[in-house]
Amino acid sequence: MSRFDLERFTVDTKKDPGMMDEVSRLEGNPQALVRWAAQRGYQLTPDEAHGLASSVSELSDQELENVAGGWDGTTPPPSGGG
């Protein structure tokens, strides 16, 4: 799918709660997402489907804070500068 069509697919999906629910159900299942999108006229490549299917849900604040690479759970990155 071209970048333009890919953008169209994500915009259309986010605008339609029914589509979004269906895509959310397919999170983690790229093959099913390819088939589902094709039935609606969107030709996703396996790569695109994999990328989209792996990131449907938003991260929670807690997940973001855990990333912390920030504090690594307990420790922040070093400060070499200065």
Residues that bind another protein (CB under 8 A): 3, 6-7, 10, 14, 27-29, 46-48, 50-59, 61, 63-73, 75-82
Residue 18 or 78 with smaller CB distance to another protein: 78
Shortest distance in whole angstroms from residue 55 CB to another protein: 4
> Closest CB to another protein among 38 and 71?
71
Structure tokens at 6: 């890919």
Distance from C-alpha of 41 to C-alpha of 26, rounded to nearest angstrom: 17
Structure tokens, 78: 């070093």
Q: Which one-letter DSSP state was computed for residue 27?
A: T
